[in-house]
């Protein structure tokens, strides 16, 4: 099995809110994550979605080559 290494990178923006009763600080800056994909993933069909603070990656399998059997008559 051949494994392909992919890197995902991005940047978080600085977010700070300061109100009378509530204060929030969050991490910010550049980040990157590396992970491996198996051989059977179609790289052209990879899609990403960001929802409720989570990043979802949709990985589709590449179409497999269909092997064809042939009958051979021996005389």
pLDDT, tens digit, 9 for 90 and up, residues 15-42: 666 566 555 556 678 888 888 888 888 8
User: In the predicted model, what is the mean pLDDT of the chain?
Assistant: 78
Q: Is the pTM of this model over 0.75?
A: no
CATH number of the domain that residue 54 is part of: 2.60.40.790
Predicted local distance difference test score (pLDDT) of residue 27:
67
- Domain of residue 26 covers 3-58
* Domains of the chain: total: 1
Residue 72 lies in a domain: no
* 2 band by pLDDT with thresholds 50, 70 and 90: low
Q: Where do we find the tokens 């590449």?
A: 62
List the Cα angle 48/51/56 in 5-degree steps: 35
Cα dihedral angle (28, 30, 36, 41), rounded to 10 degrees?
90
Residue 70 lies in a domain: no
Predicted local distance difference test score (pLDDT) of residue 40:
86
The pLDDT of 54-66, averaged and rounded, is 85
Predicted local distance difference test score (pLDDT) of residue 16:
62
């Amino acid at each position: 099995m051949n494994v392909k290494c992919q890197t995902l990178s991005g940047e978080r923006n600085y977010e700070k809110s300061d109100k009378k009763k509530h204060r929030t600080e969050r991490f910010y800056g550049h980040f990157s994550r590396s992970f491996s994909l198996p051989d059977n993933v179609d790289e052209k069909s990879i899609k990403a979605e960001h929802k409720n603070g989570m990043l979802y990656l949709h990985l589709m399998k590449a179409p497999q080559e269909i092997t064809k059997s042939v009958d051979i008559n021996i005389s």
